[in-house]
Chains A and B, each alone.
Chain A
Amino acid sequence: MIEDILSIKDLVREEVNKAKDSKTIQAVRVKFLGKKGILTGKLKSLNSIPNKHRPEYGRVLNEVKTEIESILRKQEEFFKSAELENSLKANRIDVTVSGYYIPCGHQHPTSRVLDEIVDVFLSLGFRIEEGPEVELDYYNFEALNMPQDHPARDMQDTFYITDDVVLRTHTSPVQVHVMKKNRPPLRVIAPGKVYRCDADVSHTPMFQQIEGFMVDSHITMSDLKGVLEVFIHQIFGPKIPVRFRPSFFPFTEPSAEIDIGCVICGGTGCKVCKNTGWIEILGAGMINPRVFEMVGYDPEAYTGFAFGMGIERITMLKYGIDDIRLFFENDKRFLEQF
């Protein structure tokens, strides 16, 4: 009897060995362990076994059942994982097709550079102010020490709306607005669009500037140098040579122009730097006491510096762009490079 039961194990092994997939294993399981299965039948007939042999018989039956279950499970697991693998392999996609996404848009290169510049000055404690683009002649010129008939007005070809309303030619009028409204200490930058009646390869009738100024009781020209050097080194790298040279602006005195070593040729001389090795990027100076008088500050009590630069120019130098008109043409192929 016991041998009969033990031989069932061999029968199961035989069938399992013949099986090719998990389905067959399932059938084997039903055949032996199902409700009407061979082993189940043996278990059911346990009652008919004489009492004397019953415990021994029952123990063997259970052992065999456990063993069969284990055999079936192992083989089933083997088949199932193989079958899963096969079905996954069958469900193959073309991984070389490019994925779905909306390509990111691009920030305008001048906005990108402007953000960089603004961040440098914010870290130096400057705050941002803005002024109108259509401006009174008074703020654009007069209050900046450029009275009517001043030849310095030639430096800036002006669009006129009426006799005393202009499109601002620079961001400097923001200085006057801010100083009229506030008392020192002041540490301000003012970005924005400006307009000049001029158009060629290197001039567009509209461009962007950023103005900066600082007014307090002990601001010196060496502070101006310090702040601008920090700025230039942040934007163009710590190794770029910088030089300050005298210049003229009616609203600053002393005035300076700031050159950096030519980023195109590295200072050896090229077309961009007109063979000088230097490129002008900034105008600056100590705020002219006459401007302080205009806004009602005591020129004996306060000193300050101011600077201004063209965003397009800095962007051109930073990225090696050779035609300023590209900034306002909005050719997708241009914008997508930034």
Chain B
Amino acid sequence: MKASINWLKEFVEFSLTPQEIAETLTMSGLEVEGMEETEDDTLLEVNVPPNRPDCLSINGIAREISAVLGLTLKQPHISVSESGAVERPAVEIKDAGLCMRYSARIIRGVRIAPSPQRISERLELHGIRAKNNVVDITNYVLLEMGHPLHAFDLDKLSGSSIVVRQAGSTDKFLTLDNDERTLSSEMLLIWDKEKPVAIAGVMGGLNTEVAGDTVNILLESACFNPASVRRTSKTLNLSTESSYRFERGADIEGLIKALDRAAHLIAEIAGGEVSAMADNYPASFIPVQIPFKFSKINAVLGIDINPQRAEELLTRLGFKIKREGDGPTVVPPCYRQDVRCDIDVIEEIARLYGYDKIPATLPAIRMQSELPAMRNLIKTVTESLRKSGYSEAINYSFLNPSAFDKLMLSPDDARRNLIKIRNPLKNEDEALRTTLIPALLENVRLNLSRGEKSLRFFELSKVFLPSGQKLPAEPLRLSAVYLKGADSSSLWQGKHDGFYDLKGALEGLFAELRIQDYSFAAEGFCEPYLHPGKSCAVRAGNMVIGSIGALHPAAAQGFDISGEIYLFELDAEKLLLNIPAGITYRPLPKYPYVERDMAIVVLNEIKSADVSAAILNAEPDMIESVSLFDIYTGAHIPEGKKSLAFAIRYRAGDRTLTDSEVDLIHSKILKQLADSFRAELRS
């Protein structure tokens, strides 16, 4: 809400500078978000919170200033002489729950003309376009007193009676902005004898517009149900100065004042004779009585304020304190319908007392901090992958379903089963992610387009999977992407397949998490977006926890990216399940080890991990470790075969192994490998 300092000063005479008044308002709850200097005035941009419709006017803000500074509030000048014939518009309210009060006056013989400059200038300054004197005065009073008014051209009404009732079967209505609105049956309308003439509290109809030829008007000042106005305004996507105020709650007791202020100004400026007033007010407003314990102020705020001071602050705000019966009762003024119980009263006291005067204390600490396991996992993952060169990416949770075709997922892939947003910002963002892969590929695309050649990113985020319940399951996923650049800028670029870079990062993570029981299994594995020859499932314990592999070139093409790209995606919960409980110390070995190498020739399709496992299992008590240190194909190795070289470390727990013992085991292993893998010793 914009508020001119000059206008405010008509109601409260303060001597503070605009900066000081802005500061005062901000510190008492009406944040001044901006200031605009004009030739001889300053315009404050006041952020009025939704619970304070009483401050959506110049008079309301002035009232607030008067309370904060302890100054007198002046009222706008109102003097209505009912000079017209004793005619009174008839007002019928069909549902008092939707329209709590409706008052009106008829003014005959107005002369429509442009407003005087002082009016039109103020309107324009506060963001309302000037139209003609009558319409401008309704808007002027709206700004001044906060109550929305509406003027109908009486001669365009059929008869001078008003009915307030819902739209029913009427489904179209042309509003003042010359827009045909589609109504729904429960919307509240203002009717004359025959037709709807306004959408209650939102906007009038073009059919009864006050225009240049208008002579007689009917002036409305009413109070409508906030929720009803809000629903109508939302449904029509039509928010007006009027609906904005009604949906926050209008001052049912103050609306006559607004009607009369407007009638007074119209008679003064546009002329005409004002009729008697119709006032249909089915159920009078009953002020709320709040039982109040002064001791609670200090209990909530942690200050030391005495009842007299509290009472003085409340009185400044127009609250009444009654001391009768069981204890004090606080009665807020009718325009403060946001104040309903004692905590609301305490907030008022705190505001006026000043938040800055509340001391800062620290509550006694009861230690209970511990990190949830998942939080720890996130920490370890971030640290481990960071050390392997991976940076953390955070992407939006939204997903464009077309990504699934680019990933070549089959039509019945579970990941296509999406949670959809009913009102997405963009159609492409209409669903929630079921996988993090598309976003990471999009990151690759963006960075490639900006000239980056290599990339290591990971993301830890939730995905959203339909669960059959109202709310989806939200498991945490860990994904990473590695773009192996044709990177001439690094001297040390390895010649190996980039798969092993990414796999190495993952194995480093497993080591950091102390997960030992894991494996990479290609058998029967198929992830459509991964290279079938360079991908596999990642297993930990007895479960598949994810997948890793090179991006399928066709998928890369779909995402409009090129280069060597590797990805993994893991289920973080399953990762968590496989972390061993604690660290248990194992005594250091007492006897030395003997290390022997073994180079064997096997068929290409033999998996080195299977051979390693076979070696280890051949004599588990004697073999401490097996490590593959060379894979060789080429000269001296038959076509279709490869040489694998292992370093085997022998050690016994109870003695020093002799050479002849080791020789025996070594040859036994070789024989077993010959049996199970048709392995031959490399000559």
Bound together, the chains give a CA A225 to CA B301 distance in angstroms of: 10
Q: Is A248 in contact with chain B by the CB < 8 A criterion?
A: yes
Instruction: Tell me whether B302 and A221 are in contact (CB under 8 A).
Output: yes
Q: Is B608 in contact with chain A by the CB < 8 A criterion?
A: no
0/1 interface trace, chain B 312-351, chain A, CB 8 Å (1 if under)? 0000000000000000000000000000010110110011
Q: Which of A182-238 contact B (CB under 8 A)?
A: 185, 187, 193, 195, 197-199, 204-206, 214, 216, 218-223, 225-227, 229-230
Q: Is B447 in contact with chain A by the CB < 8 A criterion?
A: yes
Closest 3 CB pairs of A and B: A220-B302, A222-B302, A248-B49
14 further contact pairs, Cβ within 8 A, besides A132-B474, A331-B446: A100-B492, A105-B390, A107-B391, A127-B370, A134-B472, A152-B51, A164-B470, A167-B397, A205-B398, A225-B360, A230-B362, A243-B27, A247-B29, A248-B50
* One of B131-139, B223-231, B654-662 contacting the partner: B223-231
Closest Cβ–Cβ distance, residue A311 to chain B (whole Å): 10
Q: Is B386 in contact with chain A by the CB < 8 A criterion?
A: yes
Contact of A159 among B230, B361, B424, B457 (CB under 8 A): B424
Q: Is A97 in contact with chain B by the CB < 8 A criterion?
A: yes
Bound together, the chains give a CA A151 to CA B299 distance in angstroms of: 30
* One of A50-58, A65-73, A250-258 contacting the partner: A250-258
0/1 interface trace, chain A 120-131, chain B, CB 8 Å (1 if under)? 001111111010
Instruction: Tell me whether B230 and A206 are in contact (CB under 8 A).
Output: no
Contact of A225 among B358, B372, B387, B432 (CB under 8 A): B358
Instruction: Tell me whether A221 and B350 are in contact (CB under 8 A).
Output: yes
Closest Cβ–Cβ distance, residue B330 to chain A (whole Å): 15
Q: Is B52 in contact with chain A by the CB < 8 A criterion?
A: yes
Instruction: Tell me whether B421 and A160 are in contact (CB under 8 A).
Output: yes
0/1 interface trace, chain A 241-277, chain B, CB 8 Å (1 if under)? 0011111101001111100000000000000001110
Contact of B421 among A111, A149, A167 (CB under 8 A): A167
Given contacts A220-B301, A244-B358, A254-B350, contact A330 B450 (CB under 8 A): no
Of all chain B residues, the one with the shortest Cβ separation from A192 is: B462
Given contacts A155-B50, A330-B394, contact A214 B363 (CB under 8 A): yes
Given contacts A127-B368, A127-B370, contact A222 B429 (CB under 8 A): no
Q: Is B585 in contact with chain A by the CB < 8 A criterion?
A: no
Q: Which of B23-49 contact A (CB under 8 A)?
A: 26-29, 31, 33-35, 49
Q: Is A333 in contact with chain B by the CB < 8 A criterion?
A: yes
Closest Cβ–Cβ distance, residue A124 to chain B (whole Å): 7
Q: Is A286 in contact with chain B by the CB < 8 A criterion?
A: yes
Closest Cβ–Cβ distance, residue A132 to chain B (whole Å): 6
Q: Is A136 in contact with chain B by the CB < 8 A criterion?
A: yes
Instruction: Tell me whether B362 and A148 are in contact (CB under 8 A).
Output: no
A contact residues around B29 at 8 Å (CB): 245-248
Instruction: Tell me whether B392 and A106 are in contact (CB under 8 A).
Output: yes
Of all chain B residues, the one with the shortest Cβ separation from A254 is: B347
Of all chain A residues, the one with the shortest Cβ separation from B501 is: A102
Bound together, the chains give a CA A214 to CA B368 distance in angstroms of: 13
Given contacts A102-B389, A106-B392, A165-B470, contact A274 B34 (CB under 8 A): yes
Q: Is A104 in contact with chain B by the CB < 8 A criterion?
A: yes
B contact residues around A167 at 8 Å (CB): 397, 421, 432
Instruction: Tell me whether B351 and A226 are in contact (CB under 8 A).
Output: no
Q: Is B86 in contact with chain A by the CB < 8 A criterion?
A: no
- Chain B contact-residue range equals 35 or more
Instruction: Tell me whether B51 and A104 are in contact (CB under 8 A).
Output: no
Q: Is A3 in contact with chain B by the CB < 8 A criterion?
A: no
Pairs across A and B, CB under 8 Å, 21 listed: A107-B391, A107-B392, A125-B367, A128-B371, A134-B472, A135-B471, A149-B247, A159-B421, A167-B432, A199-B425, A206-B397, A216-B363, A218-B299, A221-B302, A222-B302, A223-B363, A243-B355, A246-B347, A246-B355, A248-B49, A257-B31
Instruction: Tell me whether B362 and A226 are in contact (CB under 8 A).
Output: yes
Residue among B28, B31, B303 with the most chain A CB within 10 A?
Answer: B31
0/1 interface trace, chain B 210-246, chain A, CB 8 Å (1 if under)? 0000000000000000110011000000000000000
0/1 interface trace, chain A 89-103, chain B, CB 8 Å (1 if under)? 000000001101011
Q: Is B496 in contact with chain A by the CB < 8 A criterion?
A: no
B contact residues around A219 at 8 Å (CB): 363
Of all chain B residues, the one with the shortest Cβ separation from A97 is: B491
Instruction: Tell me whether B423 and A226 are in contact (CB under 8 A).
Output: no
Instruction: Tell me whether B31 and A223 are in contact (CB under 8 A).
Output: no
A contact residues around B474 at 8 Å (CB): 132-134
Given contacts A107-B386, A159-B424, contact A256 B355 (CB under 8 A): yes
Instruction: Tell me whether B347 and A335 are in contact (CB under 8 A).
Output: no
Bound together, the chains give a CA A169 to CA B505 distance in angstroms of: 36
Bound together, the chains give a CA A239 to CA B298 distance in angstroms of: 29
Instruction: Tell me whether B31 and A105 are in contact (CB under 8 A).
Output: no
Instruction: Tell me whether A223 and B362 are in contact (CB under 8 A).
Output: yes
A contact residues around B341 at 8 Å (CB): 289
Bound together, the chains give a CA A145 to CA B421 distance in angstroms of: 24
Instruction: Tell me whether B27 and A245 are in contact (CB under 8 A).
Output: yes
Q: Is A175 in contact with chain B by the CB < 8 A criterion?
A: no
Instruction: Tell me whether A102 and B388 are in contact (CB under 8 A).
Output: yes
Closest Cβ–Cβ distance, residue B234 to chain A (whole Å): 9
Q: Which of A146-189 contact B (CB under 8 A)?
A: 148-152, 154-155, 159-162, 164-165, 167, 185, 187
Instruction: Tell me whether A244 and B355 are in contact (CB under 8 A).
Output: yes
A contact residues around B344 at 8 Å (CB): 253
Closest Cβ–Cβ distance, residue B250 to chain A (whole Å): 13
Q: Which of B359-418 contact A (CB under 8 A)?
A: 359-363, 365-372, 374-375, 379, 382, 385-398
